[in-house]
Amino acid sequence: MRVALAALLLPLTMMAASTPASASAFGTLFAGSPPSTLGVHGGRLAPCPERPNCVSSRATDAGHAVAALQFRGDAAAAMATLARVVRAEPRATVIAATPGYLHAEFASAAMGFVDDVEFALDPAAGAIEVRSAARLGYYDFGVNRKRIEALAATFAAMQR
């Protein structure tokens, strides 16, 4: 059994190792399609679905809730800083960037699963709302939460 498993996994790991960081050995097979709920609707980002592969600063339950990004000073400068933070992340592609909204896709290294990450400016609250959700599957093993927490920490450090 070990030999059979190794024979299956070795070509996959070799493909992944020889593939550029922004691409997957599986191409777009596991990318899925962008959801129709992307964007700001009624002044808010879409709520998370019932699946545990999404986090949002608008969510009220512990499984989905994350903190919004807080900023001081100029809202446009905060969004520009956030865009720089996102663009610096491996396997991130900014899809849309307007003065009050940012949408990026993050692809996983090995399989190419795509997560949609959105940010919406709330200048009155001095906050940037956030939503990060996997397109496919049910569990994300905490990837979206960890990503948002890391982005928030980098953003906060650049705000100082």
Residue 63's pLDDT is 95
CA atoms within 13 A on the CB side of 67: 11
3-state secondary structure of 46: coil
The pLDDT, as a whole number, for residue 28 is 60
Residue type, 47: P
pLDDT in tens, the chain (160 residues): 444 433 333 333 333 333 333 454 545 656 677 888 999 999 999 999 999 999 999 999 999 999 999 999 999 999 999 999 999 999 999 999 999 999 999 998 887 889 999 999 999 999 999 999 999 888 889 999 999 999 999 999 998 7
HEC profile of 133-160? EECCCCCCCCHHHHHHHHHHHHHHHHHC
